[in-house]
Structure 1
Amino acid sequence: MKQSQHKDRKPPMAAAASSPAVVMDAERVAPPPPLVVRLNLAQVALVILLLLGALARFANLDRIPLAPVEAREALAAWQRWQPGVNSPMLPASPAYYSLTTLLMAFTGASDVTARFVPALFGLALVGLPWLLRRRIGVWGALIASLALAVSPLHTFAARSADGATIALFAGMFLVLSRLRFLEFAQRHWFYGLWVALGLGLVSAPLFYSALVGILLAWVAQATLGPALVTETPFPEQRIIRNGILITMGVALALGT
């Protein structure tokens, strides 16, 4: 009997290794991997592209003097803080005017300040293709971001003191928010669509041309196909009403 009991008895280390509770505890208390390990190659590439886009858009913003069209927009923003101006100039882009006047209140007026807001939206536009990675692939999204980051035309537009880049960002974010909502049926993407619409309405005339093209493309896709998703989510009336209120709020906040 003693010999059989001795044979059935396991060493302490073996018993601990075979215990599922011990294994679960070890997994639970294991520290998370460091940030460098969690970042994959695609995410590192995206960060590099954003840094490249930031360098192209923010470096030496005041190297070239403001063009007459830029000077008009910048002057309208500058006059906001000049109480002695009797007939202030009307801006062509209410969104650019509101954001730039807010920036000038903290940093003062300069060519860099006048061009900072468009450059910021231009940089954000470089990162937007990342939202398409499930449809066009990770490397397809990175190639699209690279094309935007090094595009001379887009870089020139992002370094110009007007609302064109804001309009481009709003149009692209509107399309991507709709695609993400169709794909995931998440409420914040539906609200993002309405935020983009409100921003675009007070950005620049370019947005209205883009909006017509977007609506025609949506009608053609819904009529001719192919279907983007197997089942189209439809939000409740309350959520639709909230989205309309969000659009009105964004447009009023940036347009007045």
Structure 2
Amino acid sequence: MFRLKEDNSVINRYGFNSEGHDTVAGRLSHRIRTWLFKNSVATKSGELVPSGVPRSLVLNKALGVNLGKNKISAAEDNSDYVKGVSSLGQFADYIVVNISSPNTPGLPNVKLMKEVKEARDVHVAHRPPILVKIAPDVNEVELEDIAAVVQEAEMDGVIISNTTISRPSYLKSDPTLVSQIGGLSGPPVFPLAVEKIPIIGCGGVSSAEEAIAYAKAGASLVQLYTSLGYYGPGVVYDVKKGLVDYLKKEKTTWKELVGSDHQK
């Protein structure tokens, strides 16, 4: 990982390092068992958690499972995603099919989406929504193809965007850092992502201003990551407080804000 401090950005080439489905499933299962024990909560037969309790175990919070593909898997092989849904879907409030990593490039296809949905419907009783995560580097033709696939497969939503392999000319950091191979995240991703009108906006969010712009562009939710490394967990509070202040000042709601740029 390389910090581009002058741009408050990061380039990483971590890949999808993981101990695998079984280990992660064990940790998530242990987390739920511990919560049930500490809170003296009983479940009905076949229930993982009581009805009405999110998998995050915190009301009004969501736990997402982000599924990536092994780099050595064949391009046409969808089994990594299918196995991930079957193994980990039961622990998720929502599932992300991540086809946007620079390490495992590709575009969604109807076959993949339908196989993932079938795995969820067969193996995951509470049927969490499935979102597709795409990169900001797709061109207009590819974006149209993605939209067609998402619509035909009746997916629940789209997350845009992951890191970018592009290097905007306005980056101010040391060229030896900028030229590193990997995915760029942080503020430089924001203009690439916001114009795509996502459902969940992700890329370059570090203040309420970016979250508001994502909402106006059509995002119902926003995610942040790189800004946590620069500003710490408190950035979440700052973003939320800024949003509340803005909504009060404008006498509007988040729901009314979403997509407002396209209603003018």
TM-score for the superposition, normalised by structure 1: 0.28
TM-score for the superposition, normalised by structure 2: 0.27
Q: Which has the larger radius of gyration?
A: 1
Larger fraction in helix: 1
